[in-house]
Chains A and B, each alone.
Chain A
Amino acid sequence: MAPGDGLAPGQQERIATAIDHARADNGLDVSVLVGDLVLEDLAQFRSAAERLHAALGERADSAVLLVVAPGQRRVEVVTGPGVRRRVPDRVAALAVLSMTTAFGGGDLAGGIVDAVRQIADAAGRRPALPPADHQRAAALARPDTTHGSSAVPALGAGAH
């Protein structure tokens, strides 16, 4: 397994478990996307992340989306309008800070897990949500040969 070749099965398991804990203990809908985005300019990262958040559909209003782009070294936390009171921007900024610190040290899964816990703790307790379906986690796979990397399809103005 070459470096940058993705999350190990154990790491994916840890992230999925953290998400399920947030749903069960805090009734918070958290989604995590790990992968680089197709962007002409990194300045579009926030708007691309917001569009990914919108892709959550009916859940989007009350969902928190973490977008982690390990190759582009960018992370974005997007909170829906219905959950902004539970997860204020201040909490999101703290989670981002702990993530960037962990990612800079090479701990991708640990940073994500800690951030999900931080956000869930700050969101307080609500009735539990059913466990998320993680089986389709890798359904986005599509190699982008022009960049030598994989990318989320149809994102950004200049999608290759």
Chain B
Amino acid sequence: MQVRPALVGAGLVVLLAGCSTEQGAYPHPGQSGGWTEGSVARTVLLYVLLPLALLVAVSVLAAVPQLRRRSRYRPQEGWSAAPVWFAGPADPATAVEQAEAGDVVRGGAGGSW
């Protein structure tokens, strides 16, 4: 479907052509002193760049909560982070290597999910 891009392109050409025309070309006198009159750059800014900026701003606002939520743990997706030991031994790697479980009777419980 190439119809829509073609229509948009044609509309833009007409718009830009209209901006650069003489003052007398405007049917309504009130329009002649408009901000975009005679300036292609201003028209582009008003009708292309500003809407684009608005679009980007809305997209960013919509994406922020998703980005923040991505750090959530999902059981199906595994775990790739380095181990973190809270209130662990001073030198965990050495302590684990030298540790001997021995014949101490420890308590506790375990489970899976």
Evaluate contact between B110 and A31: CB separation under 8 angstroms: no
Evaluate contact between A139 and B105: CB separation under 8 angstroms: no
Interface size on B, residues (CB 8 A): 41
C-alpha spacing A50/B110, complex, angstroms? 11
Q: Is the interface of B mostly helix, strand, loop or mixed?
A: loop
Evaluate contact between B82 and A4: CB separation under 8 angstroms: no
A84: which B residues are within 8 A, CB to CB?
Answer: 106-107
Evaluate contact between A97 and B108: CB separation under 8 angstroms: no
Evaluate contact between B88 and A77: CB separation under 8 angstroms: no
CB distance from B109 to the nearest CB of A (A): 4
Asked if A124 is an interface residue, CB under 8 A from chain B, the answer is no
Evaluate contact between A73 and B75: CB separation under 8 angstroms: yes
> C-beta contact mask, A63-96 vs B, less than 8 Å → 1, else 0?
0100001110111111111001001110011011
A30, A33, A75: the one contacting B83 at CB < 8 Å is: A33
Asked if A108 is an interface residue, CB under 8 A from chain B, the answer is yes
Interface size on A, residues (CB 8 A): 82
Q: Is the interface of A mostly helix, strand, loop or mixed?
A: mixed
Evaluate contact between A81 and B80: CB separation under 8 angstroms: no
B74, B88, B100: the one contacting A54 at CB < 8 Å is: B100
C-alpha spacing A9/B16, complex, angstroms? 52
- Given A2-B70, A55-B99 in contact, is the A134-B110 Cβ separation under 8 Å? no
Interface residues of chain A, those whose CB is within 8 Å of chain B, are 1-8, 12, 15-16, 19, 29-36, 45-47, 49-57, 60, 64, 69-71, 73-81, 84, 87-89, 92-93, 95-97, 99-101, 103-104, 106-108, 132-134, 136-143, 148-155
A-B contact pairs, 16 of them (CB 8 A): A1-B70, A16-B87, A19-B86, A33-B84, A33-B85, A35-B79, A35-B84, A54-B100, A55-B99, A64-B108, A70-B78, A75-B112, A79-B108, A134-B86, A138-B84, A142-B93
